[in-house]
């Protein structure tokens, strides 16, 4: 099969890890007999430096013509001036909106061999396996008005949390469908005791439950959800929530596995085209040093194969390789214990590639 993949390495360790994921994808193509063509484009701080825009038109156009997009990371101290006109993060928000990627999937499944790295006790981590479905193109991130004001000698600023029924419906529907294919438990997270948008969310989720009678639906207030993520993380199967709540809860969920360096994510819309990125940031302090953990990006490439290219066996081959190398004690700096041998970015990838090639 032929597929066209756009890569957006971005800033900091973005290029370090994206290169490694591409290397794995090339090996997958060779082993399974596919043709993948890769096209690199600009996003984030580097795009601002080179074109003045965090998401150049050419990048968006290329992504619209791709089967899938693999992104590294954006941002860094160089572009952090709060008064700057454009920020690297604007590129990320614009591409989510521009590609209509309203759903962000972040699976959280700690590897047993890394339970020690979790801030929670091992017995709390046992059995944790859930996925957060975060709404990605609505809520406070995009609602209007969104502005600063000056009135009566005072400054104020406003953000707007607005949700339309159709925005809620399509994301909650995805939550139900995912739950149906898993342990059939959906936690719809809101703040219905305070927010009007949450009350609409809850009303719609309740209504939609009629179409998914086999799924157990729980409405969980976001503060309770934050608490339960650390007290009983294994109780979750699928969590569906709005944009800002999802942003906060996914960082909390991410640290449960011990390192942000391990986690992939997928952003999906109506069609099969999606954007895949590790959930870690650009980590400018270690950029270019060859020590970043590439597994978050490599596992994002696996999600790309599964969700956009519909290549399930190929996705499994990568996930199995990562599983094995972690079981066998391969460690990058972020997940190594005192005295353990530490592998660099490229050596970690080598361990993935080796297993992808030799596994049946
Ligand atoms: C994320 C990030 C982004 C977000 C930032 C970089 C704009 O935190 O993907 O979770 O808030 O969505
Ligand atoms: Mg975030």
Please give the model's pTM, rounded to 2 decimal places: 0.95
Mean pLDDT calculated for residue range 82-94 = 94
For residue 207, report the distance from its CA to the centre of ligand 1, in Å: 30
Examine the pLDDT at 41 and tell me if it is beyond 80.
Answer: yes
Asked if 143 contacts 162 with a C-beta cutoff of 8 angstroms, the reply is: yes
Q: Residue 325: is the preceding peptide bond cis (ω within 30°)?
A: no
State if residue 89 touches ligand 1 by the CB under 6 angstroms criterion. yes
Minimal-distance CA residue to ligand 1 atom 12: 247
pLDDT for res 260: 86
Q: How far is CA 353 from CA 28, 37, 302, 328, in A?
A: 8, 19, 13, 15
Q: Flag the least confident range among 4-18, 21-35, 58-72, 244-258.
A: 244-258
Distances (CA, A) of 322 to 126, 171, 355: 19, 30, 8
Which ligand minimizes its atom distance to the CA of 136? 1
pLDDT of residue 359: 87
**Catalytic member of 80, 251, 285, 313:** 251
What is the pLDDT at residue 1? 85
Least confident of 37-46, 187-196, 225-234, 252-261: 252-261
User: If you search the block for the tokens 């999606």, which residue do you land on?
Assistant: 274
Q: What is the pLDDT of residue 259?
A: 84
Query: Is the distance from the beta carbon of residue 70 to the nearest atom of ligand 1 less than 6 Å?
Result: no
pLDDT digits (tens, 9 = 90+) for 172-201: 999 999 999 999 999 999 999 999 999 999
């Amino acid at each position: 099969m032929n597929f066209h993949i756009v890569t957006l390495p971005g800033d900091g360790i973005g290029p370090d890890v994206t290169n490694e994921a591409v290397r794995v994808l090339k090996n997958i193509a060779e082993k399974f007999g596919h043709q993948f063509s890769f096209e690199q484009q600009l996003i984030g701080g580097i795009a601002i430096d080179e074109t003045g825009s965090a998401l150049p038109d050419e990048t968006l156009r290329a992504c619209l013509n791709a089967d899938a997009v693999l992104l590294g990371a954006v941002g860094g101290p160089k572009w952090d001036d709060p008064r700057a006109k454009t920020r690297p993060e604007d590129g990320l928000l614009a591409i989510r909106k521009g590609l209509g990627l309203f759903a962000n999937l972040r699976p959280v499944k700690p590897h047993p061999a890394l339970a020690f790295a979790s801030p929670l006790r091992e017995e709390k981590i046992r059995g944790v396996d859930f996925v957060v479905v975060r709404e990605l193109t609505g809520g406070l991130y995009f609602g209007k008005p969104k502005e600063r004001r000056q009135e009566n000698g005072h400054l104020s600023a406003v953000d707007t949390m607005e949700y339309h029924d159709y925005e809620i419906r399509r994301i909650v529907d995805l939550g139900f469908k995912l739950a149906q294919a898993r342990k059939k438990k959906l936690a719809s997270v809101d703040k219905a005791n305070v927010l009007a948008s949450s009350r609409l969310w809850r009303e719609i989720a309740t209504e939609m439950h009629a179409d998914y009678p086999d799924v157990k639906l729980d409405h969980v207030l976001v503060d309770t959800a934050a608490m339960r993520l650390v007290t009983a993380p294994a109780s979750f199967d699928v969590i569906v929530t709005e944009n800002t709540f999802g942003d906060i809860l996914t960082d909390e969920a991410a640290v449960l596995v011990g390192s942000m360096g391990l986690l992939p994510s997928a952003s999906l819309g109506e069609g099969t085209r999606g954007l895949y990125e590790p959930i870690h940031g650009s980590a400018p302090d270690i950029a270019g040093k060859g020590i970043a953990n590439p597994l978050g990006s490599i596992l994002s490439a696996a999600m790309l194969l599964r969700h956009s290219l519909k290549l399930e066996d190929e996705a499994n081959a990568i996930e199995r390789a990562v599983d094995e190398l972690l079981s066998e004690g391969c460690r990058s700096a972020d997940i190594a214990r005192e005295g353990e041998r530490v592998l660099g970015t490229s050596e970690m990838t080598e361990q993935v590639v080796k297993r992808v090639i030799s596994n049946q």
